[in-house]
């Protein structure tokens, strides 16, 4: 199974995890079962946020990890408008109640907002000192934001940057991933299959994915996940709301692509020019 250190935390984490955006909109029992099946298969990194369903996603995750907390690398996020020094603490404590746990393995600022980064980071450090979070990071940060965050926090403090990354949106390869590699920060790819725009089997890109998948006895989505996590700092958190999808996602943990296959995907799904601002959902 493919694992690697999660940034400066030193924790060995599977390259593929489980996302929970919108899982509260489906069948709760199915979502809980899928998340638990993911844990069975080694998908220990479970990501959620206070924004997702106003805490309902966190509650579902909490039910899924009941009795299995020590198996789970648990991540949640604070909304920017809550990220003052006192607001961050209050938001974290709400998330812990929803999740029915005493700690988060990593706590993220969901995106830049009105509060100074130094204030948010001071709150993170206070929560870390109390053991309520074990590490912290950011989400949707471009290089300028990361430079400012590093200046505010100092080296070795930022565990991760969670960003949009899929085959049709590879903007972070231009500068964000290299920055994180230089500074020892993990990159977590959210929405790694895109937002209803995964290459169709009949498209040119879809045919390449299909041919590579067939040669490995794999699926096109497993090939996509293996491509996205090919670099040593990158993790991916596809949504985990159904048993079949979770089992398919887990198959990517055992898939290694050749340099030739990586080059074929790179050509079929080009990263394009660097955008003026970082894409996000």
Per-residue pLDDT tens over the stretch 39-98: 999 999 999 999 999 999 999 999 999 999 999 999 999 999 999 999 999 999 999 999
**CA-to-CA separations, 127 to 66, 87, 114, 121, 218, in angstroms, rounded:** 22, 12, 20, 10, 42
Q: Residues 163, 280: contact at Cβ < 8 Å?
A: yes
Helices (H) and strands (E) in the chain, counts: 10, 9
Residues assigned a catalytic role: 52
Write down the residue that tokens 């805490």 correspond to. 55
pLDDT of residue 240: 78
Q: How many CA atoms lie within 13 A of 45 on its CB side?
A: 30
Assess contact for 247 and 37: CB atoms under 8 A: yes
Global pTM reads 0.96
CA–CA separation, 118 and 58 (whole Å):
26
DSSP one-letter string for 260-280: HHHHHHHHHS---SPPSS---
With beta carbons less than 8 A apart as the criterion, state whether 18 and 47 touch. Answer: yes
Specify the pLDDT at position 113: 96
Q: Which among 229, 225, 217, 213 is positioned nearest to 261, based on CA atoms?
A: 213
Which positions of the chain have pLDDT values less than 50? Answer: none
């Amino acid at each position: 199974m493919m694992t690697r250190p999660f940034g400066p935390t030193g924790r060995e984490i599977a390259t593929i995890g489980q996302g929970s955006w919108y899982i509260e909109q489906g069948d709760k029992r199915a979502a809980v079962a899928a998340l638990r099946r993911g844990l069975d298969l080694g998908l220990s990194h479970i990501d959620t946020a206070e924004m997702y369903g106003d805490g309902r996603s966190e509650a579902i995750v909490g039910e899924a990890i009941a009795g299995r907390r020590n198996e789970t690398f648990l991540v949640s996020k604070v909304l920017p408008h809550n990220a003052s020094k006192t607001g961050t603490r209050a938001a974290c404590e709400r998330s812990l109640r929803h999740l029915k746990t005493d700690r988060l393995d990593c706590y993220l600022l969901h995106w830049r907002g009105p509060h100074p980064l130094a204030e948010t980071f001071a709150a993170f450090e206070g929560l870390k000192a109390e053991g309520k979070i074990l590490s912290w990071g950011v989400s949707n940060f471009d290089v300028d934001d990361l430079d400012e965050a590093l200046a505010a926090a100092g080296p070795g403090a930022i565990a991760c940057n969670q960003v949009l990354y899929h085959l049709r949106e590879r903007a972070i390869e231009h500068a964000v991933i290299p920055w994180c590699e230089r500074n020892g920060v993990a990159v977590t790819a959210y929405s790694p299959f895109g937002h209803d725009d995964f290459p169709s089997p009949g498209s040119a890109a879809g045919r390449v994915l299909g041919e590579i998948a067939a040669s490995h006895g794999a699926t096109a989505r497993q090939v996509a996940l293996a491509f996205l996590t090919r670099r040593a700092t990158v993790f991916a958190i596809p949504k985990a709301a159904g048993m079949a999808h979770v089992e398919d996602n887990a198959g990517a943990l055992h898939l290694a692509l050749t340099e030739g296959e990586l080059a074929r995907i790179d050509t079929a799904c080009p990263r394009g020019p660097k955008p003026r601002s970082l894409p996000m959902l």
